[in-house]
Structure 1
């Protein structure tokens, strides 16, 4: 079984990758690092203790674009060691495949990561390490990708008077497709390839996480690939108000408004959320109008 380190400086994507890796029975442990410095510290410790040590790492699932050192830089550093961990690149960019395989990468997985594609990368790592590579849960044959082609495709120029093709649109995710087909009272969330529908009325508040948003309900939280500003616009009529650059709150779910030494916060269930100065007055007015009907 594999001991894995996943490295990505986008926290929501790192959490999703770790969820998928930990769901694979061939992975004994999966830890995360959110930057190159932390990744190198953990890998160095693993190399010092040896492959059989308590901190050993078999495979590093490595993003390429990160602040500071890139994933390629890390792979080049590791290539100088006698027994480095295997490398699987996980990236949104196709253009680094040649460099990745020149660095002896086991696999090159494109984002957004599909569970069956990640399972194939795990299988390849197991095979290279000479370990059993049983199929992932659900049975069936392992996923076999089409050969990776590096030659660019150059379309023929349109003839005179021919209509130019419409620009290609980015493909929808499974959750985005499901959301478009579902009614407006629910939002589709996707985790590990499974789509669930969450009632908007069950959402207490929303937390910004880069280009993603985390929906907090009484039962837990769900990550969606929608910016907070978009949800603010869509859900204003449903009673959601912006209280901070990081938080959107359902007005009806606010239990307390607290004023303390010039700062304002709200309690939503067990969570206490800061209210920015620019939003504090409008929020107090809204709560007063709500209380007085």
Structure 2
């Protein structure tokens, strides 16, 4: 069975990945590291202790974009080890696949992570690790969903399990709230408290009037469509703003910006005229 290290600098995503990995019967243990330095320290200790040592690691599930060293940097460093662990990249970015496989990656899994896709990556690592001689009890077929996640809506419904999956779906508790994950707890944020939304790949970061922010696994385009009737407007490919929360519109040297609380956000040319018209009509009642 596999001993796994998962590396991601976004805690909710790391918790969800660890939960899915621990649900797979081919995984003996799955530990997490939230930055490259911690990951390298654990991997070095594992390599020095040998493949059968107490700290052994068979495969590393590795994010690419992290503060400091990237996942690709870590993989290049591991390539210099005599017997490095296998590597599976887990990332929101498609553009690094060629580099990843040049570094002998076992698999390249795109976020948001689907349980069945992760199960296939585990199968590939399990096969290449040389630990696939015996089928573990309860093992799932290639590409199938682990038993712990099949037949139920989300991992969050199991007591004690991370609830990032529920937040990731962006399920609304009521039409006026959105579910977000915060420190292992599901919190329901009032949409009326959200001032603007920032795109982060397939995710969106919600900014509230309290100065807090929450990451949800919902593309910005989906929220734009879902919240249009609530007065949210697209001002840029990266930003969706609550029209009522715009405090100031500024035109300077051909560049349009808006101030939303303490944040100053750029307005793209294609959205500038429409935004000015909306604000004018709003001001006129």
How many residues in Structure 1 have an aligned counterpart in Structure 2?
218
- 2:266 counterpart residue number: 274
Alignment of 1:118-267 (within 5 A): 147-150=138-141, 171=153, 173-175=165-167, 179-180=171-172, 182-191=173-182, 193-217=184-208, 218-267=210-259
Query: Could you say which residue in structure 2 is the equivalent of 1:39?
Result: 71
Counterpart residue number, 1:95:
120
TM-score, scaled to structure 1:
0.56
Distance 1:206 1:102 in 2: 42
Radius of gyration: which is bigger? 1
CA distance in 2, matches of 1:99, 1:208: 32
CA contact (8 A) 1:241 1:250 kept: yes
The Cα of 1:19 is off from its aligned counterpart by 6.2
The whole-number CA distance in structure 2 between the counterparts of 1:105 and 1:283 is 59
Report if the CA contact (8 A) 1:6-1:60 is conserved: no
Within 2, Cα distance between the matches of 1:43 and 1:252? 47
Kept after mapping to 1: 8 A contact 2:256/2:272: yes
Matched, 1:67 2:95: yes
CA distance in 1, matches of 2:105, 2:223: 42
Contact 1:19 1:192 in 2 (8 A): no
What is the rounded CA distance, in whole Å, between the counterparts of 2:121 and 2:85 in structure 1?
A: 23
CA-CA distance at 1:58 after TM superposition: 8.7
Distance in 1, matches of 2:99 and 2:122, equals: 12
Q: Within 1, Cα distance between the matches of 2:282 and 2:247?
A: 13
Alpha-carbon contact 2:251-2:257 (below 8 Å) kept? yes
User: Could you tell me how far apart the structure 1 residues matched to 2:78 and 2:169 are?
Assistant: 42
Summarize the Cα distance change of 1:213–1:176 in structure 2 as closer, same or farther, 3 Å threshold: closer
Q: Can you list the C-alpha shifts for 1:128-152, whole angstroms capped at 9, x where unaligned?
A: xxxxxxxxxxxxxxxxx96322278
Alpha-carbon deviations, 1:81-139, whole Å to 9, x = none?
Answer: xxxxxx9x8953133444211332899xxxxxxxxxxxxxxxxxxxxxxxxxxxxxxxx
Q: Determine the C-alpha separation between the residues in 1 that align with 2:104 and 2:94.
A: 15
In the alignment, is residue 6 of structure 1 matched against residue 2 of structure 2? Answer: no
How well do the aligned residues superpose, as a CA RMSD in angstroms? 4.7
Structure 2 alignment gaps of length 5 or more: 19-30, 37-62, 145-149, 155-164
Counterpart-to-counterpart distance in 2, 1:47 and 1:198: 44
Match of 2:13 among 9, 12, 17: 17
